[in-house]
Amino acid sequence: MRFVNVNGRAGIDTGDGYFDVEEASGGALPADPGALLRDWSRFQDAAVDLRGPLRELETEQLQAPSPEPRQVFAIGLNYRGHVGEAEVEEPIAPTTFTKFPTCLTGPVGDVVLTGDTVDWEVELVVVVGKLARGIDAGTAWDHVAGVTAGQDITDRQQQRLPPVPQFSLSKSHPGFGPIGPALVTPDELGDPDDLGLGCTLNGETVQLGRTRDLIFSVPELISRLSHNVTLLPGDLIFTGTPDGVGMARTPPAFLRAGDILESFVEGVGTLRHRFVADPELVAAR
Ligand code: ZN
């Protein structure tokens, strides 16, 4: 199933268009994508027989498929190529921080730059479908609603302010957490542990990787996180970025006003964002 958020209403994308979940269920299911995610198992059972009048899917109307997760986990340094370019040691446990949920946005639109060192990080994002506490990696995918594409946009200058890195704040400015264009259930993906992902900046490929190269795989992340915290339906896990981020390039490259960043995950789709200057920062110069 391809689950979409169309202007705040849940839909199912059939490939030929989408239908509205509340309408197709005759009002038995809510329109709110977040409400459906909080009761995902029941929705999945009901969705099998759902059919409704098809409408054209317009990219501009798409919003974040899990719009208001209670928790957003993000993992740093989870691909060896990125560990190498960051010039740090390989972690012995997942480097975990949060992207505060108000940074989430949809798969297309404008993102306001917070300065001259805003960077890109394409990532596979996992959407939790079932409460998970202390589970084994072997059953981890059973607790997943689906996956989506994401960008872990980061203000590097703020991230690296001494004395300790500010991962969570530097990655949580409004618009710094785009996800979409759809939540895709694992059964739709050939091998959910081996998906291509990448991004282009103004048409030039800057990142290209595969999730089989994750240091801590999706099942491993879910297992380890669930032994520490309780994962809730609708929660997001940004799983880490492959190499090719701007700060590691020679010379370093960062996002500029007018830049177009396109990010994809194989089997999921593409995000497209344009970066715009913060009018207050421009006025202060
Ligand atoms: Zn990241």
CA–centroid distance, 197 to ligand 1, in Å, is: 13
pLDDT attached to residue 271 = 98
Poorest-confidence range of 47-51, 63-67, 198-202? 47-51
β-pairing, 196-201 with 260-265?
Answer: antiparallel
Looking at residue 244, the DSSP 8-state letter turns out to be -
Q: Which helix (H) or strand (E) holds 149?
A: strand 144-151
pLDDT band at 59 (very low <50, low <70, confident <90, very high): very high
How far is residue 202's CA from residue 171's CA, in Å, rounded to a whole number?
22
Q: What percent of the chain has pLDDT over 90?
A: 95
pLDDT attached to residue 6 = 98
CA–centroid distance, 155 to ligand 1, in Å, is: 12
Sheet holding 269-276, edge to edge: 108-112, 269-276, 260-265, 196-201, 204-210
CA–centroid distance, 239 to ligand 1, in Å, is: 7
Do the Cβ atoms of 211 and 186 come closer than 8 Å? no
Does residue 257 register a pLDDT over 80?
Answer: yes
How far is residue 122's CA from residue 242's CA, in Å, rounded to a whole number?
7
Q: Of the candidates 197, 212, 229, 245, which has an alpha carbon nearest to the alpha carbon of residue 76?
A: 245
pLDDT tens-digit profile of 120-138? 999 999 999 999 999 999 9
Do the Cβ atoms of 5 and 63 come closer than 8 Å? yes
Task: Quickly tell me which residue has 């059919």 as its tokens.
Answer: 51
Does residue 275 register a pLDDT over 80?
Answer: yes
pLDDT tens-digit profile of 190-204? 999 999 999 999 999
Does residue 283 register a pLDDT over 90?
Answer: no
pLDDT tens-digit profile of 141-184? 999 999 999 999 999 999 998 888 899 999 999 999 999 999 99
